[in-house]
C-alpha cells in the first residue's frame, strides 16, 4: 500500500475514532429492550455500554432486624428495601438495576410459590425502566423463614462516589 494511502487511512481512522468517542459520551449507557406487544413489566434484554459502572448485589432476603412479614409480598418488599439500601452505598437506586434473579420457595399456606405476591411488591418499586428478570422456584433458602431471596446487577455511567462499606 502506498505511503499516502496508509497516512490517509490513519487520518480517516483517527477522524472516525474521534467522532465515535463523541457519540459514546452522548449515547445512553443502559438501553432496555421490550417486546412492544407485551406489557409484562420486565425487559427482554438490557444492553450496558462499555465504561458503565456495574455493581453486583448478592442475594438478599427480608430484613432480619424488623418485622418483615410472613407473606411473599411483604418479604419481597423488605428484600427490595435491603437491595435499595445496598445500592445506595454506591450512589445507585433500584432504577439502575439491569438484571434481577428472584428465588421463591413454596408458601406453606398456598402449597406453591406465590408469584402474584412477588409481582405485587415488584410492581410497587418498578414502574418503568424494567430490569431483565428471572423468577425461579427453589426447594428452600438458607434461612428457613424466607420465602424470597433476590440478587441484582445494577449499572450506570458515573454512579458517584463509592461509600460501601459505611464507615
Q: What are phi and psi of 122, to 5 degrees?
A: -55, -45
In this structure, what CATH number is given to the domain that contains residue 106? 3.30.1330.40
Domain containing 84 equals 53-156
CA distances (Å), 161 to each of 14, 84, 92, 152, 165, in order? 33, 16, 10, 20, 12
Looking at residue 16, its pLDDT comes to 31
Total structural domains in the chain? 1
Q: How many residues does the chain have?
A: 167
pTM for the predicted model, two decimal places: 0.75
Q: Is residue 165 part of a domain?
A: no
Render pLDDT for 114-134 as a digit per residue (tens, 0 to 9).
Answer: 999 999 999 999 998 899 999
- Integer Cα distance of 139 and 114 in angstroms: 13
Q: Is residue 63 part of a domain?
A: yes
Render pLDDT for 59-100 as a digit per residue (tens, 0 to 9).
Answer: 999 998 666 788 999 999 999 999 999 999 999 999 999 999
Looking at residue 41, its pLDDT comes to 85
Q: Is residue 124 part of a domain?
A: yes
Q: Is residue 4 part of a domain?
A: no
Q: Is residue 148 part of a domain?
A: yes
Looking at residue 15, its pLDDT comes to 31
Amino acid at each position: 500500500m502506498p505511503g499516502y494511502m496508509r497516512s490517509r487511512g490513519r487520518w480517516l481512522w483517527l477522524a472516525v475514532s474521534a467522532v465515535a468517542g463523541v457519540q459514546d459520551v452522548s449515547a445512553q449507557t443502559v438501553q432496555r429492550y421490550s417486546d412492544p406487544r407485551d406489557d409484562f413489566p420486565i425487559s427482554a434484554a438490557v444492553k450496558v455500554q462499555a465504561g458503565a459502572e456495574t455493581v453486583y448485589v448478592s442475594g438478599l432476603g427480608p430484613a432480619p432486624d424488623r418485622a418483615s412479614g410472613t407473606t411473599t409480598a411483604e418479604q419481597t418488599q423488605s428484600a427490595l428495601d435491603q437491595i435499595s439500601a445496598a445500592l445506595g452505598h454506591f450512589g445507585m437506586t433500584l432504577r439502575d438495576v439491569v438484571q434481577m434473579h428472584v428465588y421463591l420457595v413454596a408458601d406453606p399456606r398456598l402449597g406453591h410459590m406465590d408469584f402474584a405476591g412477588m409481582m405485587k411488591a415488584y410492581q410497587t418499586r418498578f414502574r418503568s425502566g424494567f430490569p431483565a428478570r428471572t423468577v425461579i422456584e427453589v426447594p428452600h433458602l438458607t434461612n428457613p423463614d424466607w420465602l424470597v431471596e433476590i440478587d441484582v446487577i445494577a449499572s450506570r455511567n458515573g454512579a458517584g462516589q463509592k461509600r460501601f462499606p459505611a464507615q
